[in-house]
Amino acid sequence: MNELLPKLSTVPEGIHSPSDYLSYAKERLPPEIWRYLEEGSANNVSLQANLHVFDSIHLIPRPLSDVRSGHTQITLFGQTLTHPVILAPLAYQRLYHPHGESASAMAASAQEGQFCVSSLASQTLEDIISAAGQPLWFQLYWQENRERTLKLLQRAIAAGYSTIVFTVDAPIKQATIQLPAAIRPVNLDFPTPFPTLSPQQSQVFDGWMAQAPRWEDLAWLRDQISLPLLVKGMLHPEDAEKVINLGCDGLVVSNHGGRVLDGAPASLAHLPPIVRTISGRGKVLFDSGIRNGRDIYKALALGADAVMIGRPYIWGLATAGAIGVAHVIRLLRDELELTMALTGTTSIQEITKEKIQISRNQDPD
């Protein structure tokens, strides 16, 4: 087995795009951790669909435009962000670097952006937000029942987390790993033992799904907090409509990076109909498949208010810790700015569907 290369303390030479970090990260992670990060589920059908759908969208150059006042600033839930790139909630980040989630938090803050911390973080919620030096978002997984869920939620709120992202599309997680002894979800109580099932019962229906949240639980959760609440894992317009009707502040269009239901459509394919359904009544964020600034532009043109990135910033984390994550964010912003400039666009609000061209018979709508 090849010996792993050490983490870097500076940005490596020759990095021009987030994808350039991929090979550096792979050389610094054990094979089983690399597979856990990079693979989706089953045959990776949804993972590949997330990437390929962006190829059906073309950018329209608009030379001679005056873009000297251009910027990428947005406002989300009362916070002004310098760019629309939010670090998605990825679990167990000490798998990738000893500084774990704290490094990602520092990088997001340094780049004047936002980081959504996973329920499955490998560092305490308090230490992570202290490293950031600013309010962060918290991604909530349902904790078997309302009492345990509320306990975790109240801890996050007490620590200063300002927005809650409730992930609902992964009651059964297929992308799993045997964690090293020193890494665990430190913010969670030990789960109750899995219920003993009779031979006639289903492990899925009577086991996992018996502990999964339902619509009435989302309604209850909305009543517990006054903070902004988003629901992550939406692909169907009818579900998006229910989320908004229950009083949530928005949602995240996502297929969980292709890590749950293999065969689910590309997230981008279902962004436009959900945007039409929401019709300005809540924020719509996009997740799954973003790899560069052009992808960000395309998602925004199809109606997203902001985007979440996942694997690319972990490549930076695995390579060079906080410096690597910050550099990935900066590269994405630079690529977005370049795309905006060459399409005659001076603000995020100007990125509309009229700015792109969609290949015939491949409309993501």
Residue spans per domain, the chain: 18-62+70-172+203-357
Q: How confident is the chain (365 residues) per 10-residue block, as mean pLDDT? A: 87 95 97 88 67 89 95 97 98 97 98 97 98 97 94 98 93 73 91 69 66 91 97 95 98 80 79 95 95 97 97 98 98 98 97 89 56
Q: Which CATH number fits domain 18-62+70-172+203-357: 3.20.20.70, 3.40.190.10, 3.40.50.300, 3.40.50.2300?
A: 3.20.20.70
Q: In angstroms, rounded to a whole number, what is the distance separating the alpha carbons of residues 89 and 81?
A: 18
CA dihedral 104, 315, 283, 350 (to 10 degrees): 110
Residue 181: count other Cβ atoms within 10 Å of its Cβ: 5
Number of H helices, E strands in the chain: 11, 12
Q: Is the dihedral of CA 315, 321, 327, 332 positive or negative?
A: positive
For residue 12, report the phi and psi dihedrals to the nearest 5 degrees. Answer: -65, 155
Which segments within 25-113 are labelled E, that is strand?
A: 57-59, 74-76, 79-81, 85-87
According to the annotation, is 310 in a ligand binding site?
yes
According to the annotation, is 291 in a ligand binding site?
yes
Q: Please tell me the predicted confidence (pLDDT) of residue 190.
A: 73
Residue 80, beta-bridge partner list: 75
Q: Please tell me the predicted confidence (pLDDT) of residue 53.
A: 83
Q: In angstroms, rounded to a whole number, what is the distance separating the alpha carbons of residues 166 and 335?
A: 30
58 is catalytic: no
Q: In angstroms, rounded to a whole number, what is the distance separating the alpha carbons of residues 288 and 296?
A: 11
According to the annotation, is 91 in a ligand binding site?
yes
CA distance readout (Å), 100 to 131, 183, 188, 213, 311: 11, 10, 17, 29, 14
Q: Please tell me the predicted confidence (pLDDT) of residue 295.
A: 96
According to the annotation, is 263 in a ligand binding site?
no
Q: Which of 83, 97, 99, 256 is catalytic?
A: 256
Residue 207: count other Cβ atoms within 10 Å of its Cβ: 15
CA distance readout (Å), 28 to 3, 280, 345: 9, 44, 39
Q: Please tell me the predicted confidence (pLDDT) of residue 175.
A: 55
- DSSP 8-state symbol, 313: H
According to the annotation, is 55 in a ligand binding site?
no
Contact 268/289 with Cβ under 8 angstroms?
Answer: yes
In 3D, which of 5, 65, 39 has the Cα closest to residue 320? 5
Q: In angstroms, rounded to a whole number, what is the distance separating the alpha carbons of residues 68 and 65?
A: 9
In 3D, which of 139, 135, 136 has the Cα closest to residue 166? 139
Q: In angstroms, rounded to a whole number, what is the distance separating the alpha carbons of residues 171 and 210?
A: 10
According to the annotation, is 141 in a ligand binding site?
yes
According to the annotation, is 198 in a ligand binding site?
no
Count how many residues are written for the chain: 365
According to the annotation, is 289 in a ligand binding site?
yes
Residue 193: count other Cβ atoms within 10 Å of its Cβ: 6
According to the annotation, is 92 in a ligand binding site?
no
Query: 133: exposed, middle or buried (C-beta count within 10 Å: 0-12, 13-18, 19+)?
Result: exposed
According to the annotation, is 100 in a ligand binding site?
no
According to the annotation, is 317 in a ligand binding site?
no
